Structure 1
Amino acid sequence: MHTYLHILLLSFLVLLGGSCMKDPGNYQYDPINRISITGIDSSYTINYGNKLQIKPVLSFTRDQQQDTANYSCMWVADHVVGYVPRPKTISTARYLDQTISLDFGTYYMYYRVTDKRTNVFTDAYFYLTVGAPSFEGWLLLCDMENGNSRLDMVSHQGNKDTVYPDILKTVSSSFVPAGKPVFVETGTTDFADPRGQLLTPFIATSQQFVFLGSDTLDYKPANDMQSRIPGAVTDWSHSRLYMGQQQTGLFALDNDVFLQYLGTFTGPVNNAGNHRFNASRWLTFNRSAPTLSAVVLFDTDKGAFYRYPGQGTACVPYTDGTLFDFTTGKELLYLQHVPFNGGEVFAVLQDKTDGKRYLARFTIIGTQRYYGEITGDGIAAATQFAVSPDKGYLFYAVGGKLYEYDVINNRCILIKDYGARMISVIKFQQFTYIFDAAGNKDRYLALAKKLVVCTYTPGAPTNSGMLDIYNVPDNNAPLQLYQSFSGGIGKVASVSYRDR
C-alpha cells in the first residue's frame, strides 16, 4: 500500500513539473494600436435647437495621424445625470456638427473611437446641458407700479449668468401677467406632464394664478389654476403657495389652507375640533423632508399655533409651552422652519396692544427653544424677515437698511445700508434638487446658505432693480458679496429659483 502511494505521488510530481516547464513555442507579441483623444472640454451648454460643434484631435500609436479610414466614431448621450442610462447616439461623424434636439437636461456624454480591425476603442467623457434662457436660474416677479407685473430672470447656463428683463418675451411665451404681483414659486408636480414629476414654475398676480412649462415657460389655458382650486376665486392677492417634496404642498388663500397632493387640492384643512379657524398665510414645514408629515399653522384670531399632520383636514393645537403660551394672542409677522440646531421654527410676533415684537423658536413637535422681545434700531418698522438656515441669524429690513439680530446678546446690528435704495425682498432660497444623485446638489446646498437681497430705486420700478447674494460669516461679521445682478431688472416683489 505504501509503495502504491509513493508511486502515485511521484507520478503527480512529474506531471506538475512538466506543466511548469517553459513553453518552447515561438510567439511574437505586437503592441496594440492605442488611440488618444484630446480637444474635448469637460462640459458644454447649449440651447435646444442650436448647433453643437466639437473637433477632437485624434492620434494613434501605430497609424498615420490623419488616416482614419480604419476607425469608426460615435457621439453618445448616455443618460441624463441622476437618471437610469438610456444611451442615444446623436452622430457617427469624426467631428460633431449637429443640431441638438435632445430633451432638456444635463447629459453624461461620451465620444468613442473604435479601431475596426481589432475592436479596441477609446472613450472621451464630458457633460452636455441642453436648455434655454429659462432653463435654470432666479425667477423675479416684479412690480411695475402701474397695476401690472413682469417676470424677469437671472438665467444660469454653464458658468454664465445672464439678466433677462422680460423672460416671457425672450422665450416667446404666450402668458402675459395681468395684475399686481403676488408670488412666484417652484415645486415638483405632475401638472405639466401626468407621466412624471417636473419642477414647475407657478406665478400668482392679483388677477391670475397659473403654472408654466417646466423648460420654456410655455402657457395654455389648461395651466390656469382656477380649475384646480375649490371655489370661484376673483382675487389672488391674499394667497401663497408652499411646495414640498414628492408633489406635495400647501396653498393659503384668504383665511383658508388647502393641501396639494398629486395635482389635487383638498380642504380647507384649517379645522380644529368642530371649528374652522382663520388661518394666516404664514405656514411652514420641513421642505427637505421626503414626506409632508407636520405643518405649523397659525390662528389669526386667537394668535395660536396649530399642527397639521400632513393628511386629512384637521389640526391639533400646540400645548404645554415652557417658555411661552402657544396661544400667544399676538399677530404673526413671519414664520419659517430652518435646519438650524436640528430643525427649528422661527416666528416673529407682534403684540396687538403695544406693538412690541418678539422672537419665538420651537421644534415642529412643539419643544420650545427660545422666546424674547426683539429690541434694536428700526425693529418696529421692519417689513421683511429672513433666517439663516445654518447659523440661525434673524435678518430684517427697514427701508434701505438691513439688520442682523444677535439672539445671544439681544442686540440688532446694522449689517448693510443701501442709502437711497429700498429693500423689497430678503430671503434664503430653499432648493428641491438636493438629493444625492442630483448633479447640482453641492452648488445648491451652498447657495441655500446665502442671503438674497433685492433692492430698487424709488420712482424707477421698471429697470432699477438689483439682486445681491451674500455669504453670511460667523460672529456677526460684515456680509460678503458673492454675486450682484442688475441691468434692466424691475422692482422685485417675489423671487424663487428654478433649479435642475
Structure 2
Amino acid sequence: MKSNLNNYNNWLKNIKANNVRKTLIILCLTAFFFTSCYKDKGNYDYKIPNDVAITIADSVVVLQGDQLKITPVLNQKVAANESGLNFEWSLAVAGKTVADSTYQVLAKTRNLDISTVDIKTKRDYYTLNYRITNNETGVVYRKLIKLFVTTNYQTGWLILDQSGSTADLNFINPDQEKAYYKLFSKVNTGTNLPLSTHHAYSFYVPYSDPEIAFSTVIYGNEGYLIDNGSFKILSNFSSLFFSKPAVIKPEFMHQNLGNNVSLINNGKLYYMNVSAGSIKFGDEYKSYDANGYTLAAQAFPYYRGSGMFFDNLNHRFIRDSYISTTFATSTMAFDPSYTAFDPINIDPNHELLTIGKIGSIYNSTLIAIFKDKTNNSCYIYGMEGGYKPTLFKAVENSPDMYLSVGFAYAPSRNQMYYAVGNVLYQYDVLSNNSLVAYTFPAGEDVTALQTKNSESIAVATSNGSNGTVYTFDIEATGEVTFKNKYENFGKVKDINYRY
C-alpha cells in the first residue's frame, strides 16, 4: 500500500515539471513571435568617415624673398569634396625659451602661395605645419614639413667696397662662382654707407638657441646691424649695448672660439654672449691696475672664449679674465716660466702691425708682428697657447713687410700672408722666411686680403678705378693656387668670410 502511494506522488511531480517546461517553451515562443513582428524605427545607416590623406614633400627649400608655393595632393576616402574642410598653414617660430616659441599663421588656404621676404634665413630648418579640419566630424589632419629658407648669400665672401662718395656691401658665392653687387644700397633705399666705413663682419653661432646669425658694418661713430639674408638694416650699431657708452667709436669685432663676440669700441673691450639668444654687449672691461688701457684694433682668440689684446697706452699685452669684466693681472695672464720676452713691457719703439695665430684650433700660438719705428725692420713675438712667451726674433727675408696693406693667416699651415703693391707674399713662421705667392697684373695694387681658415684666401686689387677680387686655394705647403676672379667692384676696403 505504501509503495503504491509513493508511485502516485512521483507521478504527480513529473506532471507538474512537464507543465512548467511546456509553459516556459510557450512563453519563449510568444516573445520571439512578437519581437520578430516589431518594426525597428532606429537609424542604422552608418557613414564611413571621409578621411583625408595629405601628400606633400617632407622638405621644401626656398630662397628668401621668393614666393613659397606648395600645392598639396589630397586623397579623400569617400568623395573628393573639399567644401567642408578648413585649411591652415603655420610656421613654428623659436623664441629664447620654449615658452617664447610660437606658431605664426601664414595662410588659411588650401594651397600656399606667399612671399618669404620677412622670413629670416636659417642654417637649420623651420617646421611648417599644414592643418586640415573636417567641419562635420571635427577630425583634424596635419602634415609637418621641414622648410629651409636660404639665400644666395648664405656662405661666401662679404665684400666692402668704395666708389664715388659712398661705400657698399657685395657678396661672392664661391659655389655659384658668382658675384652680387651693391646689396646694401639696393634694399636700404635712401641710406648710404659713408666712405669712413672700414669693416664688415658676419657672425654665425651654431650652438645658440635660437640660432644666431647676423652681420655688422662699422664706421666713424656708428654702424648698423644688418640681416644676413636680405642686407636690410635691423638697427643702429649704438643700440647693441645694454648700457650705451658715452663714446660710440666701433673699431674692431671678432668671434671667439665659444659663443662670445668681442668688440673694441673707442679702445675699450666689450663682450656679447649670444648663447642665450641675446645680441647685446655687456659692460666695459676695466683695467687690472690704475694705468687704464687703450686697445689696438687686433685680437687673439684664446680657447674658452677669452682673448689676448695689445694695450697701446701702456705698450703691453693684456688678457681678459673670462669670468669677470676686469682684465687678468699679469701674474695670472702669463706663464712666468717662459721668458722669450716680457709681455707687459714691449719695446716702445715697436709698433704693432698684426696679431694672428698658427697651430691647431685648441692649442694655437699667438703671433704678433711689430715694426721698429726707427728703421722699419719687423719683429715677431709668439706666445704658445696665447699666454706662454716662447718666441721673439727679427723677421728675415721678407721684403717690405712693414708696408703691407693687411695680413691674413692660415693657422694649420703655419703661414701668414701679406701684400705690397701687386705682390702677395707667403711668410712661413717656422722657417722665418717669405716667398712670392702670386704677382698680380701691373697697375693692380692689393687693397685687402682675408683667409677662410687654412683652406682658401681672397685678395682684392684696384687699378685706380675698378676693383677685382681673386680667390685661391691654399695647399698643404702654404702655396696658393688660383681659383677664380671677380671684377667690377669699387675699391675694396675689407673682406670677411661668412660661414
TM class by shorter chain equals 0.5 to 0.7
RCO comparison, higher one (Cα < 8 Å, 6+): 1
Match of 1:328 among 346, 349, 370: 346
TM-aligned CA distance change 1:408 to 1:452, over 3 Å:
closer
In structure 2, distance between residues paired with 1:70 and 1:188: 46
Alignment of 1:366-385 (within 5 A): 366-380=387-401, 381-385=403-407
Secondary structure at the counterpart of residue 276 of structure 1: coil
Structural mapping, 1:4-23, within 5 Å: none
Aligned mate of 2:470, from 452, 468, 471: 468
1:21 maps to what in 2? none
How much has 1:384 moved relative to structure 2? 1.7
Please state if 1:259 is matched with 2:283. no
1:129 aligns with 2:149: yes
Q: Distance in 2 between matches of 1:280 and 1:77?
A: 45
Is the CA contact 1:164–1:170 (under 8 Å) kept in the aligned structure 2? no
Change (3 A) 1:142 1:59: same
**Aligned position for 1:282:** 298
Of 236, 243, 246 in structure 2, the residue corresponding to residue 231 of structure 1 is: 246
SS for the counterpart of 2:169 is strand
Is 1:139 the counterpart of 2:149? The answer is: no
**Are residue 201 (structure 1) and residue 215 (structure 2) matched?**
yes
Instruction: Write the distance in 2 (CA, Å) between the matches of 1:222 and 1:298.
Output: 28
Residue aligning to 1:210: 223
Q: Which residue matches 1:425?
A: 448
Shift of 1:392: 2.6
Which residue number in structure 1 is paired with residue 184 of structure 2? Answer: 168
For the residue of structure 1 that corresponds to 2:184, the secondary structure is helix
What SS does the aligned partner of 1:212 have? strand
CA apart distance, 1:129: 0.7
1: CA distance, partners of 2:115 / 2:126: 18
Contact 1:80–1:105, Cα closer than 8 Å, also in 2: no
Q: How many residues of Structure 1 are paired with residues of Structure 2 in the alignment? A: 421
The offset of 1:232, in angstroms, is 4.4
1:66-103 residue CA offsets vs partner (Å, 9 max, x unmatched): 99999999866567799978666756767544444763
Q: State the Cα deviation string for residues 130-187 of structure 1 (Å, max 9, x = none).
A: 66x777754322233x6x4412221659x65753432222113443222423222345
Using a 3 Å threshold, how does the CA distance of structure 1 residues 42 and 297 change in structure 2: closer, same or farther? same
Q: Matches of 1:414 and 1:135 in 2, distance apart?
A: 33
Question: Residues 77 and 155 from structure 1, CA distance in 2 versus in 1: closer, same or farther, beyond 3 angstroms?
Answer: farther
Find the aligned partners of 1:283 and 1:418 in 2 and give their Cα distance: 30
Offset of residue 264 of structure 1: 4.6
CA gap of 1:124–1:243, structure 2 versus 1, over 3 A, is: closer
Select which of 252, 261, 266 maps to 1:240.
Answer: 252
C-alpha distance in 2, partners of 1:428/1:455?
A: 12
> In 2 relative to 1, CA 312–73 (structure 1 residues): closer, same or farther, beyond 3 Å?
closer
Q: Structure 1: state its 5+ residue gaps.
A: 1-32, 190-194, 430-447
CA deviation vs aligned residue, 1:357-415 (integer Å, no higher than 9, x gap): 23332235522454433222424333321111333311111222112122343322222
Percent identity of paired positions between Structure 1 and Structure 2:
15
Structure 2: distance between partners of 1:226 and 1:121: 44
> In structure 1, how many angstroms separate the alpha carbons of the residues matched to 2:240 and 2:111?
51
Task: Give the C-alpha shift of residue 424 in structure 1.
Answer: 1.5
Supply the distance in 2 between the matched residues of 1:377 and 1:365 (Cα, whole angstroms): 24
Q: Give the aligned partner of residue 34 of structure 2.
A: none
Larger radius of gyration: 2
Instruction: Tell me the residue number matched to 1:250.
Output: 263
Aligned-partner SS, 1:419: coil
The answer to whether the Cα contact below 8 Å between 1:362 and 1:370 also exists between their aligned partners in 2 is: yes
- Determine the structure 2 residue equivalent to 1:348: 369
Question: What TM-score does the superposition give when structure 1 sets the normalisation length?
Answer: 0.67
In the TM superposition, what is the alpha-carbon distance from 1:226 to its structure 2 partner?
A: 11
2:42 maps to none
Distance 1:160 1:76 in 2: 32
**TM-align CA RMSD:** 4.6
Mapped to 2, the partners of 1:181 and 1:160 lie a distance apart of 28
Structure 1 residues 73-112: aligned runs within 5 Å: 77=91, 90=106, 96-100=112-116, 103-106=119-122, 107-108=125-126
